[in-house]
Structure 1
């Protein structure tokens, strides 16, 4: 059973991808528009939740996707695994365009594309046992009931639970244990990419650390790639190699986490990082806190030009009329969509 659903990647393939070969996942011009609703007889404007996102993810890499609530992070992640259909743009996985594949064509790729949801209990069927929940992806892929149950027991052991939990139901577990079951289900078919959609935000702080450490260990042992969606920048710094910052459906900055955290180029990134608490009280008192005025604009009526200009302390006339494109900042591989990026 284990050979049919491998949990390891070829190490040579992983290093080649990170060394400049074709990425594991390539996203180009990804767009998602939700139609408006009728409220009191009037049709509301359509909502552009994701507005032209470009991303690349190498084999074995963890890419963090951060931003305020409603900026399009989860919608982007769900389009990567085809839980949502893009309005426009392409998603390539291992060099193949999976954007418009039919369900039948997509099925072989499904085993390599999995997702971990934010709320562990809401994502687990309360009427099914743990064994059935973990085994279901395997049964869909053609495994026998016996082989799928054996595999479920192996996966529970891998995530820190035991075989005695197989015949229990989700309500019998704590939040952290339920999320471990969700991780085991995501690992069932030997995926290469896992979209982790705020996997620890619904958990207590102590449990968050356990789940984050588990995911880091699984990544090292199994050679997994993660798109790690979160709003907690401290967690993102702990687990990610690179970080992409989203605002109003667009990526406004992306780069290596060290460069981005040490010298953010986009004013929005600077504001986000200034809100991260520092463990040193003296340093916390000394640093400058950047407060953004107002609320994020509605994606149903985005501002012209740069979407951030109504709240940006550096906004000038060009920001109101011209949409900035991602461009290289400084000497590294970091890019930012800003007319006046910081370059220190």
Structure 2
């Protein structure tokens, strides 16, 4: 049974008006400069050697464009292996992009050295999927949360005091400061991970599937905590997730990713109510409905086959081998993102749904 998530009073940020050359970088807001701007982001991994032969390189991310406004939560969804986590890690420079540019607060951070990047990292943090795997088992909670502050030059005492404040903020207490991660449940460990991400006062947090490794009983608590912190602290989130019901609750806009590319992006309500891309429609048809009668009546869209390998992507539209609407042009021409419907979203499809 799915948990329920309470949505705070924060209003959804609508997208900017779309100009004559629309793309997936359209951010919500009032036309102000975006907090984060991504252009043509590419990540290629070398292929593994098999029997002495080098395999084909894997293009995990293939030309992603995104914009994220201050105070906005952008959801990034798609099947496993589509490049979501790789994209998130490049945004915080845990992975180096092969090509493209990442601008944060109007500054290109793509090729900054580690020394130049250090002051930027105060405002750009990440929450990992597996809380226990991301916490050093040899360190105490105080050390784990304090470390980002110590790197930035804080004193040991000031860092410990700040760690105690952050534990209170995420629903734990200062009595946990001298304990080690193995003494905490998954939900508590993720709260510690959130506290560590908040330590330096970030403006943007990449949340890489922050609740998928948790028990269902605590997922709602952690999601509601993150939403409350976003409202109170004015944070922006890139929220990477598989669970589309969670994304619908917490995100202002949603980007759908397939085979390393953005295939649809737009304001949450319109994208969920009127998906334009066949892949988005298939994803949404798999989300369980709380009404059993409605669940029995609705049509399920079953995709044939598995996603193609990013080491050998198909020509034209990457989705055409599994698409029920594919035609000859889909096999030869790669579709570009274009405005669909009222202009509040864009989709990369030769035959998008416009109703």
TM-score computed with the length of structure 1 as normaliser = 0.95
Relative to structure 1, is the Cα distance of residues 151 and 35 closer, same or farther in structure 2, using a 3 angstrom cutoff?
Answer: same
- 3-state SS, counterpart of residue 15 of structure 1: coil
- 3-state SS, counterpart of residue 154 of structure 2: coil
**Inter-partner Cα distance in structure 2 for 1:2 and 1:271:** 20
Question: What is the RMSD computed on CA atoms of the aligned residues?
Answer: 5.4
Question: Does 1:5 find its partner at 2:16?
Answer: no
Asked if the contact 2:5/2:224 (under 8 Å) is kept, the reply is no
**Inter-partner Cα distance in structure 2 for 1:294 and 1:12:** 36
**Inter-partner Cα distance in structure 2 for 1:326 and 1:16:** 15
- 3-state SS, counterpart of residue 66 of structure 2: strand
**Inter-partner Cα distance in structure 1 for 2:348 and 2:94:** 28
Asked if the contact 1:200/1:211 (under 8 Å) is kept, the reply is yes
**Inter-partner Cα distance in structure 2 for 1:160 and 1:132:** 18
Equivalent residue for 2:26? 15
**Inter-partner Cα distance in structure 2 for 1:138 and 1:339:** 49
TM-score computed with the length of structure 2 as normaliser = 0.92
Equivalent residue for 1:158? 169
List gaps (5 residues or longer) in structure 1.
none
CA positional deviation for 1:194: 0.2
Relative to structure 1, is the Cα distance of residues 77 and 292 closer, same or farther in structure 2, using a 3 angstrom cutoff?
Answer: same
Relative to structure 1, is the Cα distance of residues 142 and 17 closer, same or farther in structure 2, using a 3 angstrom cutoff?
Answer: farther
Question: Does 1:122 find its partner at 2:128?
Answer: no
**Inter-partner Cα distance in structure 1 for 2:5 and 2:153:** 11
CA positional deviation for 1:39: 1.3
Relative to structure 1, is the Cα distance of residues 154 and 126 closer, same or farther in structure 2, using a 3 angstrom cutoff?
Answer: same
Equivalent residue for 1:55? 66
Number of positions where the alignment pairs a residue of Structure 1 with one of Structure 2? 344
Asked if the contact 2:27/2:34 (under 8 Å) is kept, the reply is no
Asked if the contact 1:8/1:190 (under 8 Å) is kept, the reply is no
**Inter-partner Cα distance in structure 2 for 1:168 and 1:303:** 51
Equivalent residue for 1:37? 48
Relative to structure 1, is the Cα distance of residues 7 and 150 closer, same or farther in structure 2, using a 3 angstrom cutoff?
Answer: farther
CA positional deviation for 1:332: 2.9
After TM superposition, the structure 1 stretch with the greater mean CA deviation from structure 2, 4-13 or 272-281, is 4-13
Q: Deviations over 1:105-148 (max 9, x none)?
A: 11110110000000000000000000000000000000000000
CA positional deviation for 1:40: 1.7
Q: Deviations over 1:3-48 (max 9, x none)?
A: 9999999999999982101100000000000011111222111000
- 3-state SS, counterpart of residue 11 of structure 1: coil
After TM superposition, the structure 1 stretch with the greater mean CA deviation from structure 2, 6-15 or 87-96, is 6-15
Q: Deviations over 1:144-166 (max 9, x none)?
A: 00000000000000000000000
Asked if the contact 1:6/1:189 (under 8 Å) is kept, the reply is no
- 3-state SS, counterpart of residue 255 of structure 2: strand
- 3-state SS, counterpart of residue 264 of structure 2: strand
Asked if the contact 2:28/2:68 (under 8 Å) is kept, the reply is no
Q: Deviations over 1:238-262 (max 9, x none)?
A: 1000000000000000000100000
Q: Deviations over 1:51-94 (max 9, x none)?
A: 00000000000000000000000000000000000000000000
**Inter-partner Cα distance in structure 1 for 2:2 and 2:289:** 44
Asked if the contact 1:9/1:223 (under 8 Å) is kept, the reply is no
**Inter-partner Cα distance in structure 2 for 1:58 and 1:5:** 23
Equivalent residue for 1:183? 194
List 4+ stretches of structure 1 deviating above 6 A: 1-17
Relative to structure 1, is the Cα distance of residues 118 and 242 closer, same or farther in structure 2, using a 3 angstrom cutoff?
Answer: same
Relative to structure 1, is the Cα distance of residues 114 and 6 closer, same or farther in structure 2, using a 3 angstrom cutoff?
Answer: farther
**Inter-partner Cα distance in structure 2 for 1:176 and 1:92:** 33
Q: Deviations over 1:193-237 (max 9, x none)?
A: 000000000011120000000000000000000000001000000
